[in-house]
Amino acid sequence: MGDVMTLSAWDTVAKTDSLALICGAIALVCVMSWPYAASYRKTVAVQSLGAAAFSVQFACLGAWTASATSILSLTQLVCVAMIGGRRCVRAVCGFSIVALIAITILTWHGTPSLLAVCGSLAGSLARVQKSTTRMKIIFVLGAPFWILHNIAVGAIFALCVDAVSVAGNVSSLKRTARRNARPLLDPLRLAQRMFEVPPAATVSSTWAKTLRFGYA
């Protein structure tokens, strides 16, 4: 069974466009390396490169919705990091929703588009949370959409990032639960607080701590 899965994965890699593989590898390296950046500005630069690389990778695979949502993720990151301000955070939230609707209509190609939009919506909501714990929970809830999408389009390196994302967030949430000695996933409380718009300084701080575990 393991040999069959290995051969299947290898076949997928062998059939993937070279540029897609190169960009996927670059994106994976960015995701794994940005926590070691010396400053917040360098962190944003590495993450931005990763998002751009994922956009090109998805485009090469014909996954245009995922490619567009990767650009949207890059736009969110740069706007909040470079402009800041509570008004900017609100504008980014509103722009993201409108942009996702437009992306869905313009790039629709069935189930992969639906999965990419759902995953991106979860990521957009996660990135504007005041609480890093809430952010990680929403990233975990959104991860299955990206996992299914990346399996469907054959994005091997993106699947590796999914694995890092889920493992990192779940491990962190378990440590937080042990420290707090209370349940982390309270659906009603999460639903009430996930649409709050925090100050931009809080958003920037939260992104710097947790964007390692979400790329779109």
Q: What is the pLDDT of residue 53?
A: 94
Residue 150: name the closest of 212, 216, 103, 102 by CA: 216
Between CA 24 and CA 83 the distance in angstroms is 29
- Is residue 84 helix, strand or coil? coil
Q: What is the pLDDT of residue 213?
A: 41
Place of tokens 């309270």: 186
Q: What is the pLDDT of residue 84?
A: 67
CB contact at 8 A, 169 and 142: no
Q: Which amino acid is at 173?
A: L
Q: What is the pTM of this model?
A: 0.75
Q: What is the pLDDT of residue 209?
A: 47
CB contact at 8 A, 149 and 66: yes
Q: What is the pLDDT of residue 36?
A: 78
Structural domain boundaries in the chain: 2-213
Q: What is the pLDDT of residue 196?
A: 54
Q: What is the pLDDT of residue 181?
A: 64
Q: Please list, in sequence order, all residues whose beta carbon lies within 8 angstroms of the beta carbon of residue 22, skipping any fewer than 6 positions away.
A: none
Q: What is the pLDDT of residue 172?
A: 82
Place of tokens 């699947």: 159
Q: What is the pLDDT of residue 135?
A: 83
Between CA 70 and CA 16 the distance in angstroms is 19
List average pLDDT for each run of 10 residues in the chain, which is 216 residues long. 45 64 91 79 85 93 94 84 72 86 93 94 81 84 95 91 86 81 55 50 48 44
